[in-house]
Amino acid sequence: MEQTRTQLCEEFVSVTGSDSAVAQCYLAENEWEMERALNSFYEADLETVFAIEEYPERREPSHQNKRRRTDTNATNCADPTEEPACSRKTEVNQQSPEKDDKLSLISWNVDGLDTDLQDRVRGLCSYLALYTPDVVFLQELVPPYVQYLKKRAVSYLLIEGGEEGYFTGMMLKKSRVKLLQSTIVPYPTTQMTRNLLVARVTFRGLDLCLMTSHFESCKAHAEERMKQLRLVLQKMAEVPDNITVLFGGDTNLRDAEVAKVGLPRGVCDIWEQLGRQEHCRYTWDTQANSNLAAPYSCRCRFDRVYLRPATRGDVVPHLAPFSMALIGLEKLDCGRYTSDHWGIYAQFTTSS
C-alpha cells in the first residue's frame, strides 16, 4: 500500500506540477482515487476562469439562442493533458511504438455556450489527458474556454478561428506536430459567422493540411451548408497532391445533402472507409444524450472526418484511416455530458 500511494503521489505531482505534500493531501481527502483528487485540485481554478451565470434549464437547439459567458480572470496552471501513468481507462491510452507511428485526432463540437461550462471543460481536458491526441479540432469554442485551455493544455499549440461569439479552433501536440502556417477562409454568404480554419503542419516527416469548420446549422439552411461543403472540397483540391489533407468538424450535413454535392474521387469519409460501423454512426443523438433535454428524438451524423491522401509518387508518405470511435459517452459528476455532441476519436497509419 505504501508503494502504491507513493506512486500515486508522484503521478499527481507530474500531472499538476504541485509538490508531494499537496499531492498527499488531495489524494488522502479523496480516498486515494486519482480522478477525484485531480478534480478537487482543479476546481478552485475553474471558478476563477469562468463567470457563474444562471441559465434556463432548457435550451432550444438554435444558434440564435446560444449565450456566451464572459471571462473574469485566470491563473497559471499545470497541463492535465500530459499523459499520466495513471488514469488509463481504455486500451487506446497504452503508449507503444505502434501508437507513436499513428496520427491521432479528436474532433468535437464542445458546445461552449451551454450551461455547466466549468464541469464540461474539465471533462474535455480529462479526455485529452486520456487519449493525448496529436491533433484536436474543436467547434463552438468561446473566449473563456480558450483561455482555460491555453492555461491548462500547455503541451498543445492552440489556433483560434475567431475571437468573439463562438468559433472553431485547433490544438496541435507540440512534441509531435509542427505548425508551418494557418489561415482563416470566410464563407461569403454565411448568416452565422462561420468559416474554415486551415493549418499547414508536419507530422513525423509527413506534410499535412489540416482543416476544421462548423457548417451552417438548422434544417432550413441546407443550401448554405452545401455551399460551404463545396468550398471546403475546392480548398482541398487546391492543396498540392504531395500533401495529405485532413478535414474534420461539425458539418451539420444530412446524408442527402452530401449525396447532392458529391465527394470527389480521392476524398473519403473515414467512417465509410472503415466499414460504416453502427456504434459510431450518430454523433448527435438526443435519444442517448440528455444535455439538451430535447422533447424530440433525433439521431444524425453531423460530425464528419474527410481525408484526401497525398498521391504524387510512391516516395510520398501516405496517411490511411485505422480506427474510429465516439467519446464523451459517460456522464460527468454534474450529471451532464461533456457536450451535446459525441466527440470523434480517430487514428491514422502513416507509411511510405
CA pair distance 352, 319, nearest whole angstrom? 9
Give yes or no: 250 in active site.
yes
DSSP assignment of 310-322 = --SSTTS-EEEEE
Q: pLDDT tens digits for the chain (352 residues)?
A: 778 888 888 888 877 767 776 777 778 778 888 878 877 776 545 544 444 333 333 343 444 444 333 233 333 334 444 443 333 333 334 344 445 789 999 999 999 989 898 899 989 998 998 999 999 999 999 999 999 998 888 899 999 999 889 999 999 999 999 999 999 999 999 999 999 999 999 998 899 999 999 999 999 999 999 999 999 999 999 999 999 999 999 999 999 999 999 999 999 999 999 999 999 999 999 999 999 998 889 999 999 999 999 987 556 668 999 999 999 999 998 999 999 999 999 999 987 6
Q: Among 114, 250, 303, 340, which one carries the catalytic annotation? A: 250
Burial 200-231, CB ≥16 within 10 A → b, else e? bbebeebbbbbbbbbbbbeeebbebbbbbbeb
Contact 107, 211 (CB under 8 A): no
Residue 258: which residues within 8 A CB-CB, separation 6 or more? Answer: 229, 269
Q: Which three cell numbers stand for residue 48?
A: 476563477
CA pair distance 341, 286, nearest whole angstrom? 9
CA pair distance 157, 154, nearest whole angstrom? 7
Q: Which three cell numbers stand for residue 210?
A: 489540416
Domain ranges of the chain: 89-351
CA pair distance 76, 25, nearest whole angstrom? 21
- The class of domain 89-351 in CATH terms is alpha beta
CA pair distance 110, 6, nearest whole angstrom? 36
User: Residues for the chain: how many in total?
Assistant: 352
Q: Which three cell numbers stand for residue 103?
A: 496520427
